[in-house]
Amino acid sequence: MLKDPLSMGFMILRKGRKVKYLLFLAVVIFFVRWTKGAGFLDAFSFLSRPFWPGPAQSEWIDRSIQFEYKARISLLEEDNQRLRELLSLQKLSGNDVVSAAVIARRTNGWWQQLDLGKGKSSGVNPGDSVVGPGGLIGIIHSATDTTSRVRLLTAPGSRVGVWVPRTKKHGILIGLGTNRPYVNFLDREPAVIPGDLLSTSPASTLLPPNIPIGVIQSINTEKLSAPTAIVQLMAAPEAIDWVQIKINGK
């Protein structure tokens, strides 16, 4: 039975459309493969542009980048300063001074001791003074041939004679096991004020004279015998990588 011409025309038209769709799909697949999806990315970028983050987020990113740059510059400056201090320690080394690296710290005794990479073979002995960038940090407590242990000024029970150069008043610096030791003055009226410098006494026989130690932070005048004062050390033991050991008797 023959189909009417109209039906046959519709069938031919549908087949023609299918062929066009298939040809279009083939062209699209070829284009995507040839451009590796770049066209779709461009189209997606164009269509999604109205939904992109506004200028506020861009400014926030710019500020974050600037903050990162400033932080890096600050860290580089700190590291440069630390290296300069290390170099100054090396330059000051002589017959009576030995430079030594800090090789160990105890987490449960952070304010009590340090271990150094120099010992008796380098002339280091118990009783020698240990100086960091800024001032005195402790005394050699024990030594082997190649290492030595420092008892810090902040160690509990540490006692070192000090004086205030401005008023020429003496006292005893006593460790508390924290980053702030205190000084017990020998005079009832030491006439000191916050900000006064503490150093080893010029008359000291156990320690080298006139080594800076710290600055008076606050004063307690309620003690019956003599005033006491909290001291901020000039050299922070927790931030020191190298030290100088001043050999006694030279």
Looking at the structure, tell me whether residues 137 and 85 fall in a common domain: no
Which tokens go with 95?
């017959």
Looking at the structure, tell me whether residues 155 and 214 fall in a common domain: yes
Residue 42: pLDDT band (50, 70, 90) is low
Looking at the structure, tell me whether residues 115 and 189 fall in a common domain: yes
Q: Look at the chain and report how many structural domains it folds into.
A: 3
Looking at the structure, tell me whether residues 118 and 220 fall in a common domain: yes
Average pLDDT, the chain: 76
45 vs 135 pLDDT, higher one? 135
Q: Are the beta carbons of 152 and 111 closer than 8 angstroms?
A: yes
Q: Are the beta carbons of 217 and 230 closer than 8 angstroms?
A: yes
Looking at the structure, tell me whether residues 121 and 228 fall in a common domain: yes
Residue 87: pLDDT band (50, 70, 90) is low
Looking at the structure, tell me whether residues 59 and 28 fall in a common domain: no
Residue 50 belongs to some domain of the structure: no
Q: What angle do CA 223, 227, 232 make, to 5 degrees?
A: 125
Which pLDDT belongs to residue 82?
Answer: 60
Looking at the structure, tell me whether residues 128 and 224 fall in a common domain: yes
60-80 pLDDT, tens digit per residue, is 546 655 655 665 676 566 666
- Provide the CATH number for the domain around residue 193: 2.40.10.340
Which pLDDT belongs to residue 2?
Answer: 45
Looking at the structure, tell me whether residues 40 and 114 fall in a common domain: no
Looking at the structure, tell me whether residues 78 and 148 fall in a common domain: no
37 vs 213 pLDDT, higher one? 213
Q: Are the beta carbons of 226 and 214 closer than 8 angstroms?
A: no
Looking at the structure, tell me whether residues 118 and 188 fall in a common domain: yes
Task: Tell me how far apart the alpha carbons of residues 196 and 78 are, in angstroms, rounded to a whole number.
Answer: 26
Domain of 123?
97-246
Residue 142: pLDDT band (50, 70, 90) is very high
Looking at the structure, tell me whether residues 179 and 212 fall in a common domain: yes
Looking at the structure, tell me whether residues 35 and 149 fall in a common domain: no
Which pLDDT belongs to residue 215?
Answer: 92
